[in-house]
Amino acid sequence: MENVYKADPTLLVKPAYYSNGVPVFEPTMDEFRDFYLYNKAINRYGMQSGIVKVIPPPEWVALLKGTYTQDNLLQVKIRNPIVQNINVTAGYLGVFSLQNVERQRSYNIFQWKELLTKHNHSPPARRKSRGRGSSLPQAEEKEETVEKDQRAKRSTCKSSKEIADELLDADFNIDTNEFTPERCSELEAVYWKSVGYSEPMYGADMLGSLFLDRTTSWNVAHLPNVLDLMEEKIPGVNDAYLYAGLWKATFSWHLEDQDLYSINYLHFGAPKQWYSIPQEESGKFYNLMKEIFNEDYKNCREFLRHKTFMASPQFLQKHGITCNSIVHNQGEFMITYPYGYHSGYNLGYNLAESVNFALDDWFPFAEKTNKCECISDSVGINHKQIYCKFKGIPYVAETKTQPEEPPQKVMETPTAKKPSIRKREKKENIQNQCALCPNTLLKDLLDFQPFELLGTDVDATKPSQVHRICAEQFKDQISIQGKKANGLKSISKAQRGLKCQVCHVPNSTLGTAIVGACFQCSHNKCTRAFHATCAISGGVMMDSGLCKMHRVTKSPFYDRGALEAQAKLETVQKDSIIQFTFTNLTRRRHSGEVYAGLVLRNNVRESTLEVLVYPNLKDKVEIQYDDILIGSLQHLDNQQLMAMQKRISKGRRASEPTARKRKRSPEHDATDELLAGPVSPLEVELKMPLKLGKFQPPLFDAMYQTRLQTQPQMVFINQTALRVHSRFPEPQGLRFVEETFNDH
């Protein structure tokens, strides 16, 4: 088969021009006629830029006449399109994650076009005047337009675009003349500013083709390539898919299955905006995305094949990664290449056709490729069999050999044994502390009532528990009766399928056990989801369920004269959880990352709170009143987390001092032991003798009185209210009953 799939060394092709780093080719009909030969000629360009554009010659476009008949178009069935919930990734401006939810409905192409009457499925109206902040066309786009105009003047024949516009001027299409380079740049700016608040709909992965059999060259459904040597048809790989787009319908950053090539022809409608990463920077791009979506990476090394992660060109450029871009118009081809990450979105209503293909240059990549193992229908191709057919050599199927067993001892009465079958070891499922969230909270937090662990009614191999605050977020499904939460099984599959915007740990179901469930922001159009214990440190207002984007965070301290706000914050008590930001990191109050902390002390005179940062409670910080999120209501936000009560436990609390009995003396009665109180840490540090009765350590002798005290002194207060002053450092590993500072 090498004679069939071969290159033509005499065919030398160069790009007609470049558009923002993407080569654009305008072949003649003679060059264009043979799909395989032409792609061999342009392969070296695509292996540098990630993608290329091919504008077919006018003669080929004219051959499509009669393709877009009503009968042919009515064969397009858009079944169960996906609604894309696009969520902002916390802490990364310009990074998003997608969750696809099927809409159980079917459309034909004419019904799909009627969706344009809804404002959320059509691009916004064009600006009447260029206002402040609007983006001008980039220099390369201007050069591209000028070069196109010059070529059009030199040509006396109609261009491919003109023929396509005439051919596609019908009721199934829209007026595409509005999508000028300037208009596309304007919509690109709108897309990245508002994509986090969108729910676009996409008719993706629909088996079928619009090309007629009479189209013999560059027919997406019948492209001559080495995948023709496969023995079966795989939808989307060697069997074409149709894609019906609407405004903002997005295809996220990804590589093709098995690192194949792909081709996309836009039959008609609004353009597509494409982005690509040059192959030489693919590793750098992967590492950046791995750092951002680390939990997804831990679950699957091929996480980018999930097609659920999006990052803007501005974000990538900020991190030193080149991002090529180009607009894909109707009647044009886009081709993607191995190791060329690509993504994009639709600028409006359109219909495209796509399929994978392979040149013989693909075989080295096929040897190294990995497929996603966490998706049941991920594509796997026997590339060795294809290679043997391509080379005309016999293919020997690989057989899995059983591992050799150690030699058996010779028995006196040997019996026939069946060969042992090596069974896959089952991984032991690690049970979370809570069935509704992945967080393991410290005992100091579990002692507070909102975080206490409740029993459940789930019949599982191991008894499961839930945090009270997690169960309270599912009031419609879970009822709390005493110390038990009932109704976990009634939590919907959709809620278990949501991904938390703070921890990004996916939820799942293991047998009868539920592992994680998220609640969504209560704002009507917001799709952000959170685990309850994650939401606290993610800026969610737990009382109303509003995320940080929709809650009222602006503090009256912007005015710097709000006595009511000052008075409100002075009421914050110990053992409350407050949410705050760091002004020094954002240079603007109440913006950027939101944190939470457990209040240790309210310093009213200094207008600060001393807190332990939630949830690890390791870092102690002092927060100014100005940086605390308090909202605009009469009471403080998150009332259930204010002045939390500790559960009454049978054992001793961690914060209580250890009551150690002193050695008794026959000359004192039993009441003296109670008067003495617990052992002072200073006694342990200085190895002072234990006494009963009036506790008078030797530190109050002439040595203390004669030395000049120049440093702040630490005071340990025991239950008898006797003070022991020490200039020694705080003993490590000991817990003090109370501490204050005196200046002498």
pLDDT tens figures, 384-403: 999 999 988 888 876 655 55
Per-residue confidence (pLDDT) for residue 492, from 0 to 100: 79
The top-scoring range by mean pLDDT among 140-149, 270-279, 645-654 is 270-279
| Nearest in space to 243 (alpha carbons), one of 264, 219, 214, 222 | 264
Residues 238 and 297 in one domain: yes
Give domain status of residue 630, yes or no. Answer: yes
Host domain of residue 633: 556-641
Give domain status of residue 689, yes or no. Answer: no
- Give the mean pLDDT of 337-365: 96
Give domain status of residue 119, yes or no. Answer: yes
**pLDDT over 80 at 691, yes or no:** no
Question: What angle is formed at CA 145 by the lines to CA 140 and CA 151, rounded to 5 degrees?
Answer: 125
What residues contact residue 232 under an 8 Å CB cut-off, 6+ apart?
none
Per-residue confidence (pLDDT) for residue 89, from 0 to 100: 87
SS3 290: helix
The mean pLDDT value of the chain amounts to 79
**pLDDT over 90 at 577, yes or no:** yes
Reported as a single tens digit per residue, the pLDDT across 616-629 is: 888 888 888 888 88
CA distance 253 to 627: 37
Q: Which of 588, 613, 641 is a domain's end point? A: 641
CA distance 714 to 620: 19
Binning pLDDT at 50, 70 and 90, where does residue 458 land? confident
CATH of the domain at 176: 2.60.120.650
Give domain status of residue 683, yes or no. Answer: no
Phi, psi values for residue 135, rounded to 5°: -95, 135
Per-residue confidence (pLDDT) for residue 147, from 0 to 100: 55
Any idea which of 123-132, 162-171, 234-243, 447-456 has the lowest mean pLDDT? Answer: 123-132
Q: Which of 608, 641, 674 is a domain's end point? A: 641
Any idea which of 127-141, 149-163, 635-649 has the lowest mean pLDDT? Answer: 127-141
Reported as a single tens digit per residue, the pLDDT across 18-47 is: 999 999 999 999 999 999 999 999 999 999
- Give the mean pLDDT of 598-613: 90
Residue at token pair 């979370």: 432
Rg for the chain (alpha carbons), in Å?
A: 35
Per-residue confidence (pLDDT) for residue 638, from 0 to 100: 85
SS3 readout for 162-206: HHHHHHCCCCCCCCHHHCCHHHHHHHHHHHHHHHHHCCCEEEEEE
- Give the mean pLDDT of 244-253: 97
SS3 686: helix
Per-residue confidence (pLDDT) for residue 323, from 0 to 100: 97
Per-residue confidence (pLDDT) for residue 34, from 0 to 100: 95
Tell me if 332 sits within 8 A of 19, measured CB to CB: no
* Amino acid symbol at 731: P
Residues 98 and 214 in one domain: yes
What is the distance of C-alpha 340 from the center of its chain? Answer: 21
- Dmax over CA atoms of the chain, in Å, equals 122
Residues 268 and 348 in one domain: yes
Residues 324 and 459 in one domain: no
Give domain status of residue 667, yes or no. Answer: no
Give domain status of residue 685, yes or no. Answer: no
| Nearest in space to 309 (alpha carbons), one of 324, 326, 297 | 297
Any idea which of 152-166, 200-214, 483-497, 500-514 has the lowest mean pLDDT? Answer: 500-514
19: part of which helix (H) or strand (E)?
A: strand 17-19
Distances 589 to 556, 571, 581, 627 between C-alpha atoms, Å = 11, 22, 7, 6
- Give the mean pLDDT of 285-301: 93
Q: Which of 314, 335, 361 is a domain's end point? A: 361
**pLDDT over 50 at 480, yes or no:** yes
Reported as a single tens digit per residue, the pLDDT across 83-124 is: 999 988 888 999 999 988 888 899 999 999 999 998 889 999
Binning pLDDT at 50, 70 and 90, where does residue 590 land? low
* Amino acid symbol at 436: L
**pLDDT over 60 at 744, yes or no:** no
Residues 596 and 477 in one domain: no
**pLDDT over 70 at 441, yes or no:** yes
* Amino acid symbol at 166: E
CATH of the domain at 635: 2.30.30.30
Residues 532 and 562 in one domain: no
The total domain count for the chain is 3
Residues 256 and 323 in one domain: yes
What is the distance of C-alpha 431 from the center of its chain? Answer: 24
Phi, psi values for residue 581, rounded to 5°: -125, 170
Distances 543 to 327, 336, 521, 577 between C-alpha atoms, Å = 45, 48, 11, 13
Between the two ends of the chain, the Cα-to-Cα distance in Å is: 96
Residues 534 and 573 in one domain: no
CA distance 348 to 652: 65
Per-residue confidence (pLDDT) for residue 457, from 0 to 100: 85
Reported as a single tens digit per residue, the pLDDT across 49-81 is: 999 999 999 999 999 999 999 999 999 999 999
Sheet holding 342-346, edge to edge: 250-254, 342-346, 272-276, 324-328
Strands (E), 26-132: 51-54, 77-79, 82-88, 95-102, 106-108
Residue of 612 and 684 predicted with greater confidence: 612
**pLDDT over 70 at 366, yes or no:** yes
Residues 108 and 243 in one domain: yes
SS3 676: helix
**pLDDT over 80 at 456, yes or no:** yes
- Give the mean pLDDT of 180-190: 96
Give domain status of residue 730, yes or no. Answer: no
Per-residue confidence (pLDDT) for residue 427, from 0 to 100: 43
Tell me if 473 sits within 8 A of 503, measured CB to CB: no
Residue of 591 and 708 predicted with greater confidence: 591
Strand partners, 250: 345
Residues 561 and 637 in one domain: yes
Strand partners, 107: 78
Residues 334 and 469 in one domain: no
Reported as a single tens digit per residue, the pLDDT across 302-342 is: 999 999 999 999 999 999 999 999 999 999 999 999 999 99
Residues 165 and 81 in one domain: yes
Q: What percent of the chain has pLDDT over 90?
A: 46
Residue of 375 and 642 predicted with greater confidence: 642
Give domain status of residue 375, yes or no. Answer: no
